Structure 1
């Protein structure tokens, strides 16, 4: 591991907002696309747990997008990933989570730790002078933060933008106004408002839309008209440039800080073949989780249940989260796969079914309209869709092999007779019998709404996939 003194300097900003829904994902993706198509190498990171925003950032930047979080992924992982990115990138963008100061480990905490300049994206569609008050409050709430500036989003007219700009106490913070972005010259306002459309778990992933790149280019074109989009790349006299926002990125210094102790990886899965479902129904996969499996020696074999693929020859099976409820008919029709999975379970081979993966294995899904769609029926239970959240937030899962970190986010509940092995809990909290996400055990299947961050405890993950680990 490199020493803390071996830093790499790179322009970087953290893009945040006063709250969710302000447009920070659109601005982050637009900024990445704007610079990528100008020939620069852009690396984008996402604060907190998220599977959907990274699809847009990956398409915009042309590079893998990793999550960074001071609890779930840990400080050592954050520092190492950003340091490695700085060695190859021309620009680093980090999208925040929720509002700037929200959460026990907030986006502001990350910006403070790393010295990242903060760009605040504010939905100014229904305000004028109050934009300045909001900007002043954000800037001074935690005075030690380094600021890049403010970008007004969803601005109606040039006059509206002028009123917003005049409200700023510090004129140097003004980075421009983004209008409602249209797709084509005659695009209706309804389509404008849904530049990056959403469904019940967040944004629709970029790979699900045939015009995803067109949407990104439209956003990049709009951003190119702002001071942020026109900011100079090379330093010039009396003109702001990206060099003003350079950050010195250092790797973690294990010797200097004993609290930084990343989990060790050993070849626990050497020689084991892990089949992984991956398509529009099973797309909630952290790239770092795949890297972790490979680092433990596993051979990964991907297949698409939606495409009618057979189950690859394997020693273990992973069914990640996603949207199986949107593809119930196609999944249920793949009976050859269902029979192969049943045989896999009958042979005692392990299955890790995570959130949507668990849903797909159940008997059926009851929609909001009461209509029941049959699923694979390998787990006893009915999944009930609901309008309210069934679970949200960071979670830890304590197994015999140690503690796994992760999160939960779902709009369904499971009615089942399966025994509960244990439950997840909030970070640092004790397990409670009626709180947290259940870990179900059914034969060789382990299933939960809990989404695991594999690098937080590779040994525990290896145990889920059948390795013998000494506690």
Structure 2
């Protein structure tokens, strides 16, 4: 039995892809169905919301960062586990290289297009039809009208749709269904005490919206009951590597993980475990001590929002100092790197002393400083990832490498090395080169 799988996209950002994807997922889960959700392209904040909606970690499907074989393995495993698989697209359907359309075409995923219908009537059908006919290798299965003004408005936008492009649902405009945002996007799901109530409200809106359209079941997307659910599958994407293929076996890798250090791809944690490492999560904000570890990863996040809390736990900075003094590897990405500087100036112009383990300072600004996919040559091999930040940094350190954007964009992040410390604004995707990741964390292998 084939698991129904849809890519949910739109003509542009801001149309409501995330809320619609989360609403469908939560609605299906409430019916007892097993749902898996993916996010196209690099993103940390949308997956937090989507993961809460479906009850499972949300992985990236990115043809550049992970490659086709990696994406196919993730998708195939999800289909074995679930009754419904949803893939939220990025930006507009055809935007970027690779685009959401490229991913859908590569894996034969039918597309559900979300269109903000506010301010439109019959033109809605023209836009939807244009998206559906733009590429012959793509199948748009249906359309969702978001933010309609009334049931009459829903009927109006559906009037010109061709028979093969049904209106699946029409969701009425409700300001209460939006999520708060900050400079990097949505506020993190873990920071919203009422996130589940919000998701249930989205699911209610989706179910009401289906009544104004033909419903997702008209596309054969949902079973009436979960009785036909597939047998539960293991969480791992692939079988564990043989002992000789697990170069980090016996090593303990600590990962900072809380509201300050939260930009973590689940696939990165899987990669470390598949390499044989024991992954130890800890919360600097909660005052957790740095675990006894052989290597340390400080991922990105929001140090500018939590600088006072970090300073309130001075043992954290001291433990980082001792870790590096012992020659143990430390990988710091974006916000994790900013924590290691001398000072970090927040958006209000307040300068906060940081760990002073990497010379330099950083300043938050109101406009975007860098954005784009990246490929960088580590001394151990090339890795891929992305960059997205609102801060600028000054350091006397000379980079050991400079990343490049595969699409020719201006963002080119330096990679710094100082003793056992490796740092960059770049958010690395470990599965792009597990061998290089293992070689970095392996120096103190017993």
TM-score, structure 2 as length reference: 0.90
Other-structure match for 1:260: none
- Specify which of 339, 345, 351 is matched with residue 372 of structure 1: 351
Other-structure match for 2:251: 272
SS for the counterpart of 2:202 is helix
Other-structure match for 1:360: 339
CA displacement, residues 226-282 of structure 1 (integer Å, 9 cap, x when unaligned): 23887375xxxxx653279xxxxxxxxxxxxxxxxxx99932212111111000000
Other-structure match for 1:256: none
CA displacement, residues 175-201 of structure 1 (integer Å, 9 cap, x when unaligned): 1211233xxxxxxx4xx26x2221111
Single out whichever of 172-181 and 91-100 deviates more from structure 2. 172-181
Other-structure match for 1:214: 197
Structure 1 residue 443 displacement after superposition: 2.6
Other-structure match for 1:444: 420
CA displacement, residues 358-400 of structure 1 (integer Å, 9 cap, x when unaligned): 0111122223332212222222111111122211111001123
CA displacement, residues 132-174 of structure 1 (integer Å, 9 cap, x when unaligned): 2211210111133112211111122223222212243447421
CA distance in 1 between partners of 2:407 and 2:16 (Å): 32
| Contact 1:329 1:374 (C-alpha < 8 Å) held by counterparts | no
CA distance in 1 between partners of 2:53 and 2:443 (Å): 38
The residue correspondences of 1:165-244 to structure 2 (distance < 5 A) are 165-170=158-163, 172-181=165-174, 189=175, 192=176, 195-227=178-210, 231=215, 233=217, 240-242=219-221
- Specify which of 414, 423, 441 is matched with residue 393 of structure 2: 414
CA distance in 1 between partners of 2:5 and 2:206 (Å): 17
RMSD: 2.3
Other-structure match for 1:255: none
CA distance in 2 between partners of 1:112 and 1:70 (Å): 12
CA distance in 2 between partners of 1:126 and 1:413 (Å): 39
Change (3 A) 1:388 1:428: closer
| Contact 1:440 1:446 (C-alpha < 8 Å) held by counterparts | yes
CA displacement, residues 324-363 of structure 1 (integer Å, 9 cap, x when unaligned): 1110100112111111111111121111001110011112
* Moved beyond 6 Å, runs of 4+: none
Structure 1 residue 414 displacement after superposition: 0.6
- Specify which of 129, 134, 150 is matched with residue 157 of structure 1: 150
SS for the counterpart of 1:87 is helix
SS for the counterpart of 2:309 is helix
SS for the counterpart of 1:46 is strand
Residue-pair matches, total = 426
Other-structure match for 1:351: 330
Other-structure match for 1:402: 381
CA distance in 1 between partners of 2:428 and 2:261 (Å): 15
The residue correspondences of 1:227-376 to structure 2 (distance < 5 A) are 227=210, 231=215, 233=217, 240-242=219-221, 266-376=245-355
Gaps of 5+ in 1: 1-7, 182-188, 234-238, 245-262
CA distance in 2 between partners of 1:17 and 1:341 (Å): 44
| Contact 2:141 2:164 (C-alpha < 8 Å) held by counterparts | no
Single out whichever of 405-414 and 456-465 deviates more from structure 2. 456-465
SS for the counterpart of 2:359 is coil
In the alignment, is residue 42 of structure 1 matched against residue 28 of structure 2?
no
CA distance in 1 between partners of 2:325 and 2:219 (Å): 65
CA distance in 1 between partners of 2:119 and 2:216 (Å): 31
Structure 1 residue 20 displacement after superposition: 0.9
| Contact 1:231 1:242 (C-alpha < 8 Å) held by counterparts | no
Other-structure match for 2:436: 460
Structure 1 residue 294 displacement after superposition: 0.7
Structure 1 residue 463 displacement after superposition: 2.5
CA distance in 2 between partners of 1:435 and 1:73 (Å): 20
CA distance in 1 between partners of 2:219 and 2:400 (Å): 57
Other-structure match for 2:64: 71
SS for the counterpart of 2:397 is coil
Structure 1 residue 447 displacement after superposition: 0.5
SS for the counterpart of 1:99 is coil
| Contact 1:274 1:299 (C-alpha < 8 Å) held by counterparts | yes
Single out whichever of 398-407 and 152-161 deviates more from structure 2. 152-161
SS for the counterpart of 1:70 is coil
| Contact 1:317 1:352 (C-alpha < 8 Å) held by counterparts | yes
In the alignment, is residue 82 of structure 1 matched against residue 61 of structure 2?
no
- Specify which of 403, 407, 419 is matched with residue 424 of structure 1: 403
Other-structure match for 1:249: none
CA distance in 2 between partners of 1:294 and 1:377 (Å): 31
Other-structure match for 2:364: 385
